[in-house]
Structure 1
Amino acid sequence: MQKILFWIPLFLSILACNNRPGKTNNQKDTTMPEKFDVELYKKYQQGTGLLLLANGNTILSMTAPENRKIGAQQELLPKPSFLVCYKEFYPNGNLKLKELLLSETVKVGKSEYYNQEGQLERTVNEDEKFGKVKYQQVLNFLDNKGYINTKDGSGRLNEDGTPKYDIQYQTKDKQWIIIVYQGRKVSEQEFLEVSRQNTGEPNPWKPVYYVMNADTGSTKEVLQLPE
């Protein structure tokens, strides 16, 4: 998956999302496949500012499907959502997959996978892998701590433009891992100690780590990430 630091006409997006599960194989799917928007990609390459889609999403990154390579597109959903829509396209331009990302490694909601003709083949309910505590409760925790605001969607980034947090999910241990990159300012003593050990400007912040039980919701702050 291509990392970020996801302009498709709205009616195509709606049609692509209206594929109903449970369709038998002998039913012919006449839905128009979603395709990579070449004209939008040209605008993206020109770098003329934010590309806002008709559905309210904002383009974060685009890679064209060419030379037999898969294309990709990332769209930031409008506030107050904290999700990113990630899409891949076959070399012929047809949609290959569509996923909703809470973070770089955590997929939520429904993921859709398409054949080379752009027709829906498989849908996966990503939320089924979580325990009783779903991703919205994790965001609510960050809200209660004052890091983000789930009502207006603010707090995605720090003041310097870096990501404010990362969220991971450990299926085996059924727990959420929450990393707040600028969780706490270092003390004066810590700052001086880091300054002596390293060249360059030391980071005045240190991360804060939380572990949340995916069944009970109980959360504790830990000194380091669990392995």
Structure 2
Amino acid sequence: MKKLLIYLSILCFVICTCQSKKEETHKNNKTSTMVEKFDFALFKKYQESNGTLELKNGYTVLSMSAPEKDEAGTLEELLPKPSFLYVYKEFYPNGNLKKKETRISETVKVEKSEYYDKDGNLEKTVDEDQNYGKIKYQDVLSFLDKKGYINLKTGEGRLNDDGTNKYDIVYDQDVPVWNISITQGKRLSEKELLEIMKTSPGEPNVWKPVVYKMDANTGKIISEK
């Protein structure tokens, strides 16, 4: 009986020690995870820029708005060259990161998306690449590279000279089709410019888009206009 009590005492001690270490490890892991917050210093620099802000780490801030009261903050930044992806981040009014999405265009999310609660804890991760057909966004970029609109090796062609997006990409899941629009695809003819100036006041846009439709299963160009 005495030996049994000693054995139970030792077993209880070991269990308590293991539980204590487990709780301590969990606590350390929790405190060591830094919660990403809105960067107000960066926002101030962005406000002083001409609409885009190139950073020393190679990122380019495309747009930024600060969180306040009940309004969320946002940040859009291009990844360093030669990448053609950009990251969209949204922040709670308390400044904590709400979601982080990697995109190739405004509506097309790729790779992994992350969603957080108000305290900065990761709630959900989504594999966005599973939403598309056999032809992925990399194939769309390769097409743009072959057409000479962009250069995948150097990263040239991400933006137009005026800072606007070089292209817009929309995925139609029902068909499925990739709709690829080159924002400054062709210059307007003199006749087209005169027609626009008759009906629209101010300086007309000298460019018109070129739109391609790509089969999302074969990569074949269905139409061009």
Structures share a fold, TM > 0.5?
Answer: yes
Q: Secondary structure at the match of 2:53?
A: coil
Tell which deviates more after alignment, 200-209 or 61-70: 200-209
Residue among 130, 133, 142 paired with 2:132: 130
**Can you list the C-alpha shifts for 1:5-64, whole angstroms capped at 9, x where unaligned?**
xxxxxxxxxxxxxxxxxxxxxx6651121111233223333449835154x322222222
Judging changes above 3 Å, is the alpha-carbon distance between structure 1 residues 62 and 182 closer, same or farther for their aligned structure 2 residues? closer
Alignment of 1:207-218 (within 5 A): 207-218=209-220
Alignment of 1:12-161 (within 5 A): 30=30, 31-47=33-49, 50-52=53-55, 54=57, 56-161=58-163
Q: Secondary structure at the match of 1:206?
A: strand
Indicate the structure (1 or 2) with the bigger Cα radius of gyration. 2
Correspondence for 1:8: none
Judging changes above 3 Å, is the alpha-carbon distance between structure 1 residues 217 and 115 closer, same or farther for their aligned structure 2 residues? same
State the AA in 1 paired with 2:139.
Answer: Q
Following the alignment from structure 1 to structure 2, what is the Cα–Cα distance between the partners of residues 51 and 157?
13
Deviation at 1:203, TM superposition (A): 4.1
Query: What fraction of aligned residue pairs are identical, expressed as a percent?
Result: 58
State the AA in 2 paired with 1:85.
Answer: V
TM normalised by structure 1 equals 0.76
Deviation at 1:73, TM superposition (A): 1.2
Deviation at 1:188, TM superposition (A): 4.7
Judging changes above 3 Å, is the alpha-carbon distance between structure 1 residues 168 and 156 closer, same or farther for their aligned structure 2 residues? same
Equivalent pair of 1:44/1:51 in contact (CA under 8 Å) = no
Deviation at 1:68, TM superposition (A): 2.8
CA RMSD of aligned residues (A): 2.4
Unaligned runs of 5+ in 1: 1-26
Deviation at 1:181, TM superposition (A): 2.1
How many aligned residue pairs are there? 196
Equivalent pair of 1:53/1:59 in contact (CA under 8 Å) = no
Following the alignment from structure 2 to structure 1, what is the Cα–Cα distance between the partners of residues 195 and 42?
50
Q: Secondary structure at the match of 1:98?
A: strand
Equivalent pair of 1:72/1:89 in contact (CA under 8 Å) = yes
Unaligned runs of 5+ in 2: 1-25
**Which protein has the bigger helix share?**
2
Deviation at 1:156, TM superposition (A): 1.9
TM normalised by structure 2 equals 0.77
